[in-house]
Structure 1
Amino acid sequence: MLALLLAVASSVTYGSADFVGGFASRDGQARRVATVSAPVSLALVTVAALVAGARWSTTTAVYGTACGLAGVASIVLLYRCLALGPMSVLSPLTASISALVPVAAGLLQGERPSPAAITGIALVPLAVVLVSFAPDGNARRPTLAAVLTALGAGIALGAEVILLQHTPRDSGLAPLIITYGISSTVFLAMSLLPGDRPELPQRPGLAAASGAGSAAATIFLLYALRHGQLTMIAVISALYPVTTVLLARLVLHERLRPSRLTGLVLALAAITLLAVG
């Protein structure tokens, strides 16, 4: 039950950070937002490590570095998706793949979920698609390159979860310090590339809040993975679009279409089945 609660906390927190980051990224400012949010995430994780502890080892360094590189790859590929579009198709595809990859890894590792849990796992991709999909009559069909980019982003996100699970249980938050250290370095370096002027986003406070939320969500995820099965944790954490959609309804007063309401119900059913299982 502790792992389930931590996974739900991770999903809700990441969905909130995604909402705030998306709001701050309007007008094509996604990369500027990442330049602010990544260092903030690093700072928060470093401070949290003073309380939770951080133990360093070669294994921690290897998995932390691999996780950081996977995280950077996922963000870069997601940015590419934004450019290729349509995100109404590519976003739910990315989220679904990011859940299915760790589930496959968990099954290969010998995890055997109960029938109820398997049913819950099966409901998650459908719930994510229904919640995330935003039909647009004017949207063009995704190209093969766009689909492959979305698949790559989903695989990278899933790999990040798998790598986090393999970090030493006694390493504390050391892996996350390495992970966010790498992403901060990469995005700060990108902002200094020739032809790019290092500028703050128009909403730096929201960018910083997004970084803080992302760090908190990853901390919850790390400890959930250390107390529960990869198959269960991965699918629950992939339900973050549910929180994003609910916040859009509450804050921006966006209308909830019947398909999204159905997705929300399926998400709750999936969590219930995973809890029972």
Structure 2
Amino acid sequence: MLTAVFSLTGALVFGAADFLGGLAAKRISALLATAVAALAGVVLLFLALPLLGGEWSVHDVLWGAISGVVGCIGIALLYACLAIGPMSILSPTTAVVSAIVPVLYGLVFAGERFDPTGYWGLGLALVAVVLVGFVPERGAVRPSLRGIVMAVGSGAAIGGFYIAIDQTSDESGIVPLILNRGVNAALMFMAVAVVAILAALRARRARDVVGVDAGSVIQSLAANPAGESADGRSGGGVEAGADGLEGERMPRADRSATATGIRLAVACGLVDATANALLLFGIRAGDLSIAAVLGAMYPAGTILLAALVLRERIAPVQWAGLVLALTAAAMLALA
């Protein structure tokens, strides 16, 4: 019962975090939004540690760090496959694989067993994951092999996150989550730094090219002070060079939008950390299989918030998925 309640609630909260993260990514880069969110989550978990408790051990610290690395791989592959598209196929593919991997682990290696109601509930939940995660697209094309491989890899990595967290002891409390968010933040900020360095190098090369062009203009003027062209007409060499240099200047970012993006990313991190804690409680309260398959319902929270806040339309197939998700949760709670 507690596993179903914690896991489904955690999935809805996860969806809210994704919604906030999406709003943040519209104002700042998705990479920076993810990094800021992870850092905010670490801070919240550290503040909650005295209240929720947790013992530090090498075993739990190691598995917490592993879950952070595996989780980063899963998210990176998810963004990559969604960029390739079509989202309507690859998004639910990732979600269902992320549920199947822990279910297979729980049934095959952890010795989890259910009554017939539980197995039917698991099957129904997997169908619900596909329907809830379905993103209707007009003119969607058949996915490429590369996109499918990335989607499966992303789902497997996210499923690996569930398995890694399941290896931690009950006595560790939220310590593994602190390591998870800490590793995630470190990797994301490293990625932001790499991108910034590459951008700076590209900008420097562009300035060097502009400098060479400006040097050519100066040499031409020195040879032909009047700025005359070969046919004797007066040319605007200095003005043209100045216009070219002016065109290379990048427009200033909107500080207000950036500040809003940072605040949204912080809110995303706080909500995401809460969702992770709920999921952890769900795993420890019962079976990994139930927690993972209900946790994969996270798109439900996103589409519900999008409908309430942004007035986006929920597709009939997604409504069907939401109904099946609630039905499956009730069956698994009774299993």
Q: Could you say which TM-score interval applies, normalised by the shorter chain? A: over 0.9
- Does 2:195 match 1:195? no
Please list, as runs of the form range in 1=range in 2, the aligned pairs for 1:121-132 lying within 5 A after superposition: 121-132=122-133
- Does 2:199 match 1:141? no
- Does 2:162 match 1:104? no
Gap runs ≥5 in structure 2: 201-252
Deviations 1:165-219 (A, max 9, x none): 110111111111111111111111111112247x968611111111111100111
Residue 261 of structure 1 is matched in structure 2 by 319
- For residues 164 and 231 of structure 1, the distance between their equivalents in structure 2, rounded to whole angstroms, comes to 13
- Does 2:220 match 1:217? no
Structural RMSD (CA): 1.7
Residue 44 of structure 1 is matched in structure 2 by 44
**8 Å CA contact 1:29, 1:201 repeated in 2:** no
- Does 2:216 match 1:158? no
- After superposition, the Cα gap between the structure-2 partners of 1:251 and 1:74, relative to the gap in structure 1 and judged at 3 Å, is same
Residue 294 of structure 2 is matched in structure 1 by 236
**8 Å CA contact 2:16, 2:305 repeated in 1:** yes
Deviations 1:62-101 (A, max 9, x none): 2111111111111111121132122221111101111111
- For residues 97 and 201 of structure 1, the distance between their equivalents in structure 2, rounded to whole angstroms, comes to 36
Residue 88 of structure 1 is matched in structure 2 by 88
- For residues 137 and 66 of structure 2, the distance between their equivalents in structure 1, rounded to whole angstroms, comes to 37
- For residues 42 and 118 of structure 1, the distance between their equivalents in structure 2, rounded to whole angstroms, comes to 36
How far does residue 257 in structure 1 lie from its aligned partner after superposition?
2.3
- After superposition, the Cα gap between the structure-2 partners of 1:28 and 1:155, relative to the gap in structure 1 and judged at 3 Å, is farther
How far does residue 114 in structure 1 lie from its aligned partner after superposition?
1.6
Deviations 1:3-51 (A, max 9, x none): 2221122112111111111222237832121121110111111111121
Deviations 1:95-136 (A, max 9, x none): 111111111111011101121111111112221222221232
**8 Å CA contact 1:102, 1:231 repeated in 2:** yes
- After superposition, the Cα gap between the structure-2 partners of 1:12 and 1:137, relative to the gap in structure 1 and judged at 3 Å, is closer
- For residues 252 and 237 of structure 1, the distance between their equivalents in structure 2, rounded to whole angstroms, comes to 24
Query: How many residues end up aligned between the 2 structures?
Result: 276
**8 Å CA contact 2:2, 2:333 repeated in 1:** no
Please list, as runs of the form range in 1=range in 2, the aligned pairs for 1:60-99 lying within 5 A after superposition: 60-99=60-99
- After superposition, the Cα gap between the structure-2 partners of 1:36 and 1:201, relative to the gap in structure 1 and judged at 3 Å, is farther
How far does residue 152 in structure 1 lie from its aligned partner after superposition?
0.7
Partner amino acid for 1:179? N
Residue 180 of structure 1 is matched in structure 2 by 181
Q: Is the deviation greater in 251-260 or in 141-150?
A: 251-260
Gap runs ≥5 in structure 1: none
TM normalised by structure 1 equals 0.94
TM normalised by structure 2 equals 0.78
Partner amino acid for 1:187? M
Structure 1 residue runs of 4+, over 4 Å off? 199-202
Residue 245 of structure 1 is matched in structure 2 by 303
- For residues 114 and 19 of structure 1, the distance between their equivalents in structure 2, rounded to whole angstroms, comes to 36
SS in 2 for 1:113: coil
SS in 1 for 2:333: helix
Partner amino acid for 1:70? V
SS in 2 for 1:195: helix
How far does residue 236 in structure 1 lie from its aligned partner after superposition?
1.1
**8 Å CA contact 2:27, 2:261 repeated in 1:** no
- For residues 269 and 147 of structure 1, the distance between their equivalents in structure 2, rounded to whole angstroms, comes to 29
